[in-house]
Amino acid sequence: MTAILSTLFNAQSPPTDEQQIRALISNYDAGQTEGMWTKDRIFWSGAIKRPVIGSQQAEEVPSDRAPSARKPRSQRNHTTPDRIEIAKSGDMAYEFSNSELSSELKDGQKERFPTSVLRVWKKEAGEWKIAAMFARPHYQDSPVR
C-alpha cells in the first residue's frame, strides 16, 4: 500500500527543478529551443572566435567544420548530464554534460564528434532558461567524418 501511495503522490507532485532542467535538455537536443534563452545570454563554442552576448553576431572560426558549412537544421545533439546543481535560492543552477554533436554538411558529408557542455540556468518568471552556455568539441579525440 505504501508503494501505491508513494507512486500516486509522486505522480501528482510538480517536477523538481532538476527534472525540469533535464526535460529542457531533452528539448534542446530535439531542436526545440524557442524561448529557452535569457535575453542577455552568453554563448561560446569552439566554432566561434569569442563568446557572444544576447543577440550579438557570432564570428566563426574559419574551418571546414564551421556552422555555415552545415545544412540548415541538420544539427543534432545527444546530451548526457553528468551533474546538475541547483542553488539553495532555487533561482540559479549549473549543469555539466557530455554531448555528441552531429550534422550534415552542405557538401553531403556527415560529421559527428563529442563535446563537453557547461550551462548556467536561471529561473525567470518561474521557468528555467539558459543564461550561459559554453561548449567545447573534442576534435582531437575522435574522427570528425
Report if residue 10 sits inside a domain. Answer: no
- CA distance linking residue 19 with residue 4, whole number of Å: 21
Report if residue 8 sits inside a domain. Answer: no
pLDDT at residue 10, rounded to an integer: 53
Q: β-pairing, 37-45 with 127-137?
A: parallel
Residue 103 belongs to what domain range? 15-141
pLDDT at 65 over 90: no
Domain count, the chain: 1
Report if residue 6 sits inside a domain. Answer: no
- What stretch of H or E contains 132? strand 127-137
Residue 140: band (very low, low, confident or very high) from pLDDT cuts 50, 70, 90: low
Report if residue 1 sits inside a domain. Answer: no
**At 77, which CATH number?**
3.10.450.50
pLDDT at residue 5, rounded to an integer: 39
DSSP letter assigned to residue 26: H
Report if residue 2 sits inside a domain. Answer: no
Average pLDDT over the chain, rounded to whole? 86
Q: Which long-range contacts (CB under 8 A, 24 or more apart) does 75-81 make?
A: 75/31, 75/101, 75/102, 75/103, 76/29, 76/31, 76/101, 76/102, 76/103, 77/28, 77/29, 77/101, 77/102, 78/29, 78/102, 79/25, 79/26, 79/28, 79/29, 79/117, 81/22, 81/25
Hey, what's the cell of 34? 524557442
Report if residue 127 sits inside a domain. Answer: yes
Report if residue 33 sits inside a domain. Answer: yes
Candidate from 62-66, 72-76, 115-119 with smallest mean pLDDT: 62-66
Report if residue 137 sits inside a domain. Answer: yes
Q: Among residues of the chain, what percentage have pLDDT more than 90?
A: 55
